[in-house]
Amino acid sequence: MFSEHQRMRPVLDQARRFDIASNPDPRAIFEAGSAGFQVWCTPEDHPQGWEDIKMTTGAFSKPCEYVGSVFWKWEEDRIVGLQIETSAYALADQMPDKYSNPPIIPKGIQRQSIVQERTTFYNRKQDIKWLKKKIAWLFKQADTPVLPFEVKARE
């Protein structure tokens, strides 16, 4: 497993180089983890449909919103692919009529979490397409072949 982590190290090194928290470079939209990374969008670089989304800087180096995550897909002791998923929380929050689908909740029952309430903003085709493009760019910067993508199904 150590050798597999080492194989992906150049990718995570590039994700850290292009870290959205500390790097104002417009290409810096990543947040590295130990077994993958997150990808954020900015007002200048975002998936189709995000044109009217207001983005804030918060704790990051520039205005942004979360788009998706990339995790190593393991088989036995080898990384064989990239498991990806998107969650367009900003679309659901700022355009709830279009991207939020709360279930009917009986009187007296408290609402469940956002993940259970909103179902129309996960793995949108436009977000997946944009995410794949950004992942491929990051792997190119790391001089590492891109592994096959698998879109994570919502549970």
At 46-105, the pLDDT tens digits run: 999 999 999 999 999 999 999 999 999 999 999 999 999 999 999 989 988 788 765 444
Question: Which H/E stretch holds residue 39?
Answer: strand 36-41
Residue 43 tokens read as 């007002």
| Confidence band of 119 (pLDDT split at 50, 70, 90) | low
Helix (H, G, I), strand (E, B) or coil at 99: helix
Distances (CA, A) of 53 to 46, 66, 139: 10, 12, 28
C-alpha closest to that of 70 among 46, 29, 91, 39 = 39
At 8-52, the pLDDT tens digits run: 999 999 999 999 999 999 999 999 998 899 999 999 999 999 999
Residue 91 tokens read as 């679309």
Say if CB 129 and CB 84 are below 8 A apart. no
Read off the pTM. 0.86
At 135-146, the pLDDT tens digits run: 999 999 999 999
Residues present in the chain in total: 155
